[in-house]
Structure 1
Amino acid sequence: MKKLKAFYDGFSDALRSPEPDAVPSSVTDGYAHRFAIYRNNVHRGLFDALGAAYPTVRKLVGDGFFDQLAKGFVQSETTRAGSLALYGVGFAEFLASHPVRDRLPYLSDIARLERARLEVSTSEDAKPLLAEELGGLEDQLEAMTLRAHPACQVVASEYPVFAIWNAQNPVDGNEVGKTSIVQRAETVLVTRPYMQVEMRVITHGQAAFFAALTRDGLSLGAACSHALEADANFDVMASFATFLTIGAFNARLNIPRGNGHDDA
């Protein structure tokens, strides 16, 4: 077993090595060129998988520079999932510490947004909470707690990531043109209400409300109070209706005990 582990470790180290002529000790000189071909094919596959996962990042930096970023990312990995479908975990963090941040400080947040889109698109299916399912529970709403839908994520950024993403991905396949982008912080809610990924910018108050509910486990009443502290202009009813409409909540409810209803 030790010899087998040494073989795999050496093979893996040679694949990740920044030296183009790196060859595992288990490969004889006469087969070094075959390993080089295999290594190049593996790297090309990883580069392409990363580009498919982060197409907007690729558009922003160009194909050539993206391949350089991909090469650095591949060499930096210590672990890797066996499937390429969700390849690229940690790419946003890699970009955040890369010198490219000096020129494109928003690039890592664009990567976080694209990662959220990818994970939301492949998340488990679950029934979203609909407004009509709350009928008859009006007296319990204030004390009720809610869970985020599994196909729902929030990405907060100091930069206008939603506007930048939209500028690079115009609707109806139109060509990318010059777009005026207001420099401001944006928080984006990513959901998949009807088997299609959707994004929308939410306000500071809405972000505070959603986080208080789904991350901190506060009741609806407490979450509303928290949101109003964060944003005095927070519209409770309109915001709650928006979250319900876009399928941000899981249909499984936590209804307070002692009200004649069982937990759904």
Structure 2
Amino acid sequence: MTELKSFYDGFADALRAPEPDAVPRSFADGYAHRFAIYRNNVHRGLYDALGAAYPTVRKLVGDGFFDRLAQGFVQSETARSGSLALYGAGFAEYLAGHPILESLPYLPDIARLERARLEVSTSADAKPLLANDLAGLEDQLETMILGAHPACQVIASRHPIFAIWMAQNPVNGEQGGKTSIVQRPETLLVTRPYMQVDMRPLTAGQDVFFTSLTQDGLDLGEACAKALEADASFDVMPSFAEFLTSGAFDARFNIPRGNGYDDE
């Protein structure tokens, strides 16, 4: 077992090595070229999988430079999933430590957004909370406790990542003129209503409202109060309706006992 582990470790090290002529120590000289072919095919597959997972990052830097980023990322990995469908976890963190950050400071957050889109598209199915699920519970809404739908993520950035993403991915593929992008922070809700990934920007109040509900465990009344502290213009009714339409909440909600209803 020790010898077998040593072989596999050496094989993996040679695959990740930056030297193009690297081969496992146990390989005979006559097999070096065969390993090189295999190594190139493996790397090409990983580069392509990374490009498929982060298409907007690829557009922003160009195919050639993206391959160089992919090469560095592959060589930096210490572990990876056995499936290429979700390949590329950690790519945003890799970009955050790359010199490209100086010229494209928003690139890691674009990668985080694309990772969220990928994960949301493959997340577990669950029934989203709909408006008709709340029929007859109007008097209990204030004390209701909600959780986020499994196919839901919030991505916050100091950069206008939604505007940048939309400029690179115009609706229906229509290319317009030069897009003017205002430098400002943006927070996005990424969901999967009706089995399609959807993104929509959140105001400061909506961000606090949703986070208070789904991460801090506050009830609707408390979350609303927190949102109003952050944003005096926050309007709970249209915002709550927007979250429901987006499929952002799990249908399994809770109303504490003592309010006329048992836990759902």
Equivalent residue letter for 1:249: F
Structure 1: gaps spanning 5 or more residues: none
Q: Give yes or no for contact 1:146–1:250 (8 Å, CA) kept in 2.
A: yes
SS in 1 for 2:155: strand
* 1:176 Cα deviation from its structure 2 partner: 6.0
SS in 2 for 1:21: coil
Rounded to whole Å, the distance in 1 between the matches of 2:8 and 2:96 is 31
* 1:169 Cα deviation from its structure 2 partner: 0.4
SS in 2 for 1:127: coil
* 1:13 Cα deviation from its structure 2 partner: 0.3
The residue that corresponds to 1:33 in the other structure is 33
Rounded to whole Å, the distance in 2 between the matches of 1:177 and 1:189 is 27
The correspondence of residues 5-154 of structure 1 with structure 2, limited to 5 A, is: 5-154=5-154
Rounded to whole Å, the distance in 2 between the matches of 1:16 and 1:113 is 27
Rounded to whole Å, the distance in 1 between the matches of 2:27 and 2:174 is 50
Rounded to whole Å, the distance in 2 between the matches of 1:8 and 1:220 is 53
Rounded to whole Å, the distance in 2 between the matches of 1:258 and 1:45 is 58
Shift of the 36–196 alpha-carbon distance from structure 1 to 2, 3 Å rule, reads same
Q: Percent identity?
A: 77
Q: Normalised by the size of structure 1, how large is the TM-score?
A: 0.98
Rounded to whole Å, the distance in 1 between the matches of 2:6 and 2:149 is 44
1:175-223, Cα deviation, whole Å (9 max, x unpaired): 3641111111100100101000010101011001000000111111111
Q: Normalised by the size of structure 2, how large is the TM-score?
A: 0.98
The residue that corresponds to 1:157 in the other structure is 157
Shift of the 176–13 alpha-carbon distance from structure 1 to 2, 3 Å rule, reads farther
Q: Give yes or no for contact 1:156–1:188 (8 Å, CA) kept in 2.
A: yes
- Runs of at least 4 residues off by over 2 Å: 258-264
- Greater Cα offset, 171-180 or 241-250: 171-180
Rounded to whole Å, the distance in 2 between the matches of 1:102 and 1:40 is 30
SS in 2 for 1:194: helix
Equivalent residue letter for 1:47: Y
Q: Give yes or no for contact 1:168–1:176 (8 Å, CA) kept in 2.
A: no
Equivalent residue letter for 1:213: L
Rounded to whole Å, the distance in 2 between the matches of 1:151 and 1:57 is 22
Rounded to whole Å, the distance in 1 between the matches of 2:19 and 2:43 is 13
1:81-124, Cα deviation, whole Å (9 max, x unpaired): 00000000000010011000000000000000000000000001
RMSD: 0.9
The residue that corresponds to 1:250 in the other structure is 250
SS in 1 for 2:194: coil
Q: Give yes or no for contact 1:120–1:191 (8 Å, CA) kept in 2.
A: yes
The residue that corresponds to 1:261 in the other structure is 261
Rounded to whole Å, the distance in 1 between the matches of 2:92 and 2:26 is 35
SS in 1 for 2:188: strand
Rounded to whole Å, the distance in 2 between the matches of 1:177 and 1:53 is 27
1:12-57, Cα deviation, whole Å (9 max, x unpaired): 0000001111100121100000000000000000000000000000
Rounded to whole Å, the distance in 1 between the matches of 2:178 and 2:199 is 22
The correspondence of residues 198-217 of structure 1 with structure 2, limited to 5 A, is: 198-217=198-217
SS in 1 for 2:153: strand
Rounded to whole Å, the distance in 2 between the matches of 1:261 and 1:222 is 19
Rounded to whole Å, the distance in 1 between the matches of 2:133 and 2:172 is 35
Rounded to whole Å, the distance in 1 between the matches of 2:90 and 2:186 is 21
The correspondence of residues 216-231 of structure 1 with structure 2, limited to 5 A, is: 216-231=216-231
Rounded to whole Å, the distance in 2 between the matches of 1:243 and 1:116 is 17
Structure 2: gaps spanning 5 or more residues: none
Q: Give yes or no for contact 1:167–1:177 (8 Å, CA) kept in 2.
A: no
* 1:142 Cα deviation from its structure 2 partner: 1.2
Rounded to whole Å, the distance in 2 between the matches of 1:172 and 1:89 is 28
